[in-house]
Chain A
Amino acid sequence: MPKEDTGQFRRERIDRGIYARSSDIFALSSWREMNYLLLPRILPVVILLAMPLALELAGNEYWAKVMVILAIMGIMAMSWDLLRMAGMFSLGQGLFFGLGSYVAASLNHYLEWPIILTIPIGTIAGAILGTVLLLGTLKLRGIYFAMVTLAFPLLLVRAIQATNFMGGTEGVKAAAFPDYWTIAYLAIAALLVCFFGLRRLMNSDWGLVARAIGQDDIAVTASGIDVTWRKIQVLFIASGIAAFAGTLMTHFLMYAGLSNFSLEYSILPVASVVIGGSGNFAGALLGSSLLTLATEALRALGALRIAIYSLLMVFFALMVREGIFPYLERRYHQFERKVKVD
């Protein structure tokens, strides 16, 4: 506990978090303690839920639409973080995203199935296809897994272009959501369900094993656990989540095209976790929100946008290496007070 003398007062730094977290019952004893624990959990949820309403009422349609994209990219970032925790560093999250969006759009366009069916079927089909496509790569680790996953979306894009399958470069049209509220609140509700669901999952024993595989799969194998089967389970969940994000985006943009497999959807989740911090999904969410907002806010700057965007990335990667969320969390739990020197 570093102390420094400032005249008659000295500044004392206390790690408040440990105290409050280690005594749950104690937290109920005062509003102050309850607010301390609840505010950082409830405030982001309230803001997320209020933003579409506020923006739409203020007549700011552009930023209202950005909120939907923000929620979708948040889901993407969490699905990437889930894969990374189990040791699968993917550079091809766009694969799952694109699979989900193409399945949903083609079901909707060619078979004229309603949105209420295309979204769940697109999600499940995306999860199955994504898992099956990557089944052969599960033995690969680190950079090798990353390179193979990077190749898959590029391969599919070229294949669609060459064969004119699914509309070729034209893409597939898809029906829109009935109104803005449906998509906005569907996306945000999905984001919250994913966030709290994934946190709960990763804190269970199943998640413990998955995280251990991410650290050292040999030791997990020596513990009598089928590592490949566990990886398949994680991959299925993560690709399903990303495919779900793809189906939402398809019906939001009323279109599924080659751009759904683009590098943007593969790289942005990685950048989100680099900036926001990894390990508890909150960082991924914070990072992707900041990146989405920055992308839109800087759009007016034209070509300079990418340069500033890149500089920001470099700054955070170098200066806040643990990630913004872990940094904020640490600062929140530490607080300083002035103590009179006797």
Chain B
Amino acid sequence: MSAEPILKVTGLSKHFGGVTAVDNVSFELKEGEFLGIIGPNGAGKTTLLNLITGFLKPDSGKVYYRGKNITALKPHKICELGMARTLQMVRPFYNLPAFKNVIIPLCSPRSLKFSGSQYGERDDIALDYLEEVGFERDSSVPYKPAGVLPHGYVKRLELARALAMQPDLLLLDELFSGMSMSEVASTMFIIERLRAKGMSIIMVEHRVKELVRVADRLLLLNFGAKIVEGKPIDVISSREAVEAYLGSSQEVE
């Protein structure tokens, strides 16, 4: 692992009208590290991901990927460098079979760089990725239209879509929302396997319990600003975290 951080964010801010969605957030991510981002609803977690991946342009601040300033780059250029994300609102192409959904990222410049992603072989590769996220290859599930799949499968299809770009840095936006306990457990297993391969991961999640178990570090956002950052167990037991989720004890009289 190199000493240079794979991702470095400095002083990132974004305002929507008068509302400050992300307020002067800075952090670093080392190669192969797993960072969890938590915070109450509306804390600016998804906006932060959108700023990093180029879907939104920040008002101020910079994003560096392996030392390269990517703040002004378009989302597809950022993907090409090796950063992939899942979307919070899963948007499969409903009338396409599930495996065809994975062919779309396989047509991206990032995927085309890697061998074996040529026309005609993509169906098989797409099925490989689906198998990796737990679609039963020999069943009819990968061939069903994405619109009829159960929610847990759709979420994992979204993960496969991101993995098909062979990212070095994976950003997961509330992947577990709407999943059942058993689906969360099996997806967690997949994520741990990716991490063991050395993939750097940032995960935005409401399920703090799962995050504490796997993350190297946690970052707590509230009202767009970074409140605490550190070892998971320290963060969730900090006074700031309790205040962010439950409110300040001083207000109760």
Contact = CB atoms under 8 A, between A and B. Distances in A.
Residue with the highest number of chain B CB atoms closer than 10 Å, among A204, A212, A216, A222: A222
B103 A216 contact: no
B223 interface: no
A221 B107 contact: no
B94 A223 contact: no
B85 A205 contact: no
B108 interface: yes
B156 interface: no
B107 A216 contact: no
B87 interface: yes
A208 interface: yes
Contact of A221 (B55, B93, B96): B55
B74 interface: yes
Interface residues of B, number: 33
B165 A212 contact: no
Interface in B76-124: 76, 79-80, 84-87, 91-96, 100, 103-111, 119, 122
Given A216-B93, A219-B87, A224-B109, A209 B104 contact: yes
Interface in A215-245: 215-216, 218-227
Interface in B161-177: 161-162, 164-165
A26 interface: no
Nearest to B77: A226
A221 B77 CA distance: 10
A295 B165 CA distance: 51
A102 to B, nearest CB: 35
A69 to B, nearest CB: 34
Contacts of B53: 222
Contacts, number: 74
A225 B165 CA distance: 10
A177 to B, nearest CB: 39
A259 B23 CA distance: 56
A206 interface: yes
B226 to A, nearest CB: 25
Contact of A224 (B86, B87, B93, B165): B165
Contact of A225 (B96, B104, B119): B104
A226 B76 contact: yes
Contacts of B164: 223
Contact of B96 (A204, A208, A223): A208
Contacts of B111: 224
Contacts of B106: 205
Main secondary structure, interface of A, reads helix
B75 interface: yes
A37 B106 CA distance: 32
A139 to B, nearest CB: 12
Contacts of A208: 96, 100, 103-104, 107
B74 A226 contact: yes
Nearest to A225: B108
A222 B92 CA distance: 12
B79 A224 contact: yes
Given A219-B87, A221-B76, A212 B108 contact: no
Contacts of A222: 53, 55, 75, 79, 84-87, 161-162
A216 B164 CA distance: 18
Given A226-B74, A226-B76, A220 B104 contact: yes
A206 B91 contact: no
A211 B87 CA distance: 19
A224 B96 contact: no
Contacts of A223: 79, 104-105, 108, 161, 164-165
Contacts of B74: 226
Given A205-B119, A218-B87, A212 B76 contact: no
Contacts of B162: 222
Contact of A215 (B93, B103, B122): B93
A206 B112 CA distance: 13
Closest 5 CB pairs of A and B: A224-B79, A224-B108, A223-B105, A219-B91, A226-B76
